[in-house]
């Protein structure tokens, strides 16, 4: 069980970013050439990784963030604490890679908007940190139903 405040746990943030960087070469982006990898921390303490996987039918493409989260859900996870994201054209991490709207919404379904964080990183020492609420203000979540 992960019982620390992720916003204050620099060691875990570094670990998440490093895990995403490690998976980046596994991204499959032959059409856009925009490679992305993600590492998602859940309250169990487990970390799940994912990469973007493109399809010739582009609507069938799956983002790295949703890939990681959906894998975690398939393993029984439900409470998302943090997601680290890395990516760029041909895998070059020249800019901060931020989640698309669909990924932000999926994060909202499993993460607390005020405490869940998104780390958009170039390196383990160079990243933007935002809460989910900052990434998706005025969101629609499970409590809205």
Where residue 131 falls among pLDDT bands split at 50, 70, 90? very high
Do the domain assignments include residue 144? no
Q: How many domains does the chain have?
A: 1
Do the domain assignments include residue 118? yes
Q: Would you name the residues annotated as active-site residues?
A: 65
Do the domain assignments include residue 145? no
- List the CATH number of the domain containing 25: 3.40.140.10
Neighbours of 39 (CB within 10 A): 27
Which CA distances in Å does 96 have to 48, 85, 120, 127, 142? 20, 8, 5, 7, 29
The tens digit of pLDDT for each residue in 41-50 reads 999 999 999 9
Do the domain assignments include residue 59? yes
Do the domain assignments include residue 1? no
Q: Which two tokens stand for residue 15?
A: 């670990």
- Contact present, 48 and 40 (Cβ < 8 Å): yes
Q: Domain containing 62: what range?
A: 6-138
Q: DSSP readout, 88-116?
A: EETT---S-----HHHHHHHHHHB-TTT-
The tens digit of pLDDT for each residue in 88-121 reads 999 999 999 999 999 999 999 999 999 999 999 9
């Amino acid at each position: 069980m992960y019982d620390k405040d992720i916003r204050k746990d620099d060691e875990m943030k570094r670990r998440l970013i490093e895990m995403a960087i490690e998976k980046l070469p596994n991204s499959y982006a032959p059409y856009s050439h925009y490679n992305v990898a993600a590492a998602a921390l859940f309250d169990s303490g487990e970390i799940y990784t994912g990469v973007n996987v493109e399809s010739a039918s582009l609507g069938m493409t799956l983002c790295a963030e949703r890939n990681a989260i959906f894998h975690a859900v398939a393993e029984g996870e439900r409470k998302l604490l943090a997601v680290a994201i890395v990516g760029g054209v041909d895998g070059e991490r020249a800019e901060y890679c931020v989640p698309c709207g669909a990924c932000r919404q999926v994060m909202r379904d499993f993460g607390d908007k005020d405490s869940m964080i998104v780390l958009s990183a170039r390196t383990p020492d160079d990243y933007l940190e935002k809460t989910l609420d900052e990434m998706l203000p005025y969101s629609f979540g499970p409590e809205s139903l």
